[in-house]
Amino acid sequence: MQSAYAGTLGHYYPGVLGMRDIIMPPKGFYAIFYNPVYGSNSLQDANGDKLSNFSKSETTTKYINVQGQQVPVKLSANLSADINTSMMFTTQQLLLMWVPGWKFLGADYAMILAPSLGYVSVKAKIKAQETGTITIGDTAHSVTAHQELKFKSDDYGFGDMLVQPLMLDWRGKQYDVGVNYGFFAPTGSYLEKRAANVGMGFWTQQFQVFGAYYFDKYHKTALITTTTYNLNSKSYSKDLMPGQSMTVEYALSHYMNSRVEVGLCGYDQWQISSDTGTAARNKNVFYQIHAIGGQFTGWIIKEKLSLTTKCYYEYYGVDRFKGILGTANLIYVF
């Protein structure tokens, strides 16, 4: 089995925003609460297959990509072991948006500030098939045949903050086209030797281009696409610069009436350049994830308070966890 894990995940996790949240709303101040919950017990290898077994003819270290953190696992020579891993995270993010009614280059202008709290948990069970030594992180364990080791790491605290000072939206009768620029500041909890971290430990610049086409003049039905590019900085705790990533999100949204929206949506994300630095592992392995899902939105108070629920099934992944993402979002218009 090849050493299958390499890519360090970036800040942007797709699928959290509501289908039309990328489109700039009318002039005003908005408070948006996002609460995504993600769960997975399927850690995929470099071939897109679920990791289930380690087998070694010699003592070698493998690095498992656990939500962006490289966890070293080492088996003594001629030892094989079954491994079962799981991961979950949840984030409480308050997104504050101001649309002042200004024009710039003919587009409407807005800005965003988004602090967050988060929790992430990673668990692993490793069952030895022979007598030997299993090392997870910095801890070595002597094991006998059929002995099971359990590993857990979790973290709760402030996450990395998104600051988006530039949002532009050019509007037409049946379309919206826009660009956004922002950055993630490494304000979140992060320790290099901890497998589960709320923060990432590096800065990310984020560039977005989006478009929406409305099939009728009332904007009841819309086809929306967004492309996001993340440019990562060097980690502040080790010699590692994570590779860049690109994400494509798409949605077909329909308002059944003035207060109820339903739709189909999906996302695709790829690492598009190698990790660099002396701490980078298996630089020729790039992660990717693909998902499909649906959304329901109801305006509890018309044009004032809405609740959005979404669910995505990730049907294919490489070099990362593959699971289910659910969200519950609230928007309040001041």
Name which of 3-7, 26-30, 96-100, 311-315 the model is least confident about. Answer: 3-7
pLDDT band, residue 327 (cuts 50/70/90): very high
Count CB-CB contacts under 10 A for residue 231.
15
What type of residue is 259? Answer: R
DSSP letters, 162-188, are EEEEEEEEEE-SSEEEEEEEEEEE--S
What is the per-residue pLDDT for 320?
A: 85
The CA distance from 177 to 225, in Å, is 10
Please tell me the pTM assigned to this model: 0.88
Tell which wins on pLDDT, 137 or 86.
Answer: 86
The CA distance from 179 to 161, in Å, is 20
The CA distance from 178 to 184, in Å, is 20
Cα 242 to its chain centre, rounded Å, is 14
Domains of the chain: 28-333 (2.40.160.40)
Dihedral sign (CA 38, 201, 50, 122): negative
pLDDT at 7 over 50: no
What is the per-residue pLDDT for 57?
A: 57
Task: Extract long-range pairs of 125-129: CB within 8 Å, 24+ residues apart.
Answer: 125/83, 125/84, 125/85, 125/149, 125/150, 125/151, 126/54, 126/73, 126/81, 126/82, 126/83, 126/151, 127/81, 127/82, 127/83, 128/79, 128/80, 128/81, 129/79, 129/80, 129/81, 129/82
The CA distance from 226 to 265, in Å, is 11
Using DSSP, state whether 190 is helix, strand or coil: coil
Burial class (CB in 10 A: 0-12, 13-18, 19+), 129: middle
Angle at alpha carbon of residue 219, lines to 218 and 225, rounded to 5°: 170
What type of residue is 83? Answer: I
What is the per-residue pLDDT for 334?
A: 85
Over residues 59-78, mean pLDDT? 67
Q: How many residues does the chain have?
A: 334
293 in Cβ contact with 305 (< 8 Å): no
Over residues 16-22, mean pLDDT? 93
Tell which wins on pLDDT, 276 or 192.
Answer: 276
pLDDT at 60 over 80: no
Dihedral sign (CA 44, 47, 53, 54): negative
What is the per-residue pLDDT for 98?
A: 97
Q: For residue 282, is it left (φ>0), alpha (ψ between -120 and 50) or beta?
A: left
Average pLDDT score over the chain: 87
Tell which wins on pLDDT, 83 or 60.
Answer: 83
What is the per-residue pLDDT for 68?
A: 57
Tell which wins on pLDDT, 274 or 252.
Answer: 252
Tokens representing residue 68 in the block: 């962006």
Residue 44's DSSP bridge partners are 50
* pLDDT tens, residue by residue, 132-189: 888 776 677 888 888 888 878 888 999 999 999 999 999 999 999 999 999 999 998 8
Over residues 39-55, mean pLDDT? 81
What type of residue is 265? Answer: C
pLDDT band, residue 1 (cuts 50/70/90): very low
What is the per-residue pLDDT for 52?
A: 77
Name which of 10-14, 23-27, 200-204 the model is least confident about. Answer: 10-14
Q: For residue 169, is it left (φ>0), alpha (ψ between -120 and 50) or beta?
A: beta
Over residues 38-64, mean pLDDT? 75
pLDDT at 82 over 90: no
* pLDDT tens, residue by residue, 206-261: 999 999 999 999 999 999 999 999 999 988 878 888 889 999 999 999 999 999 99
Q: Averaging pLDDT over each range in 41-45, 72-76, 158-162, 206-210, which range is the top one?
A: 206-210
- The residue assigned the tokens 């799981």 is 86
The CA distance from 155 to 121, in Å, is 7
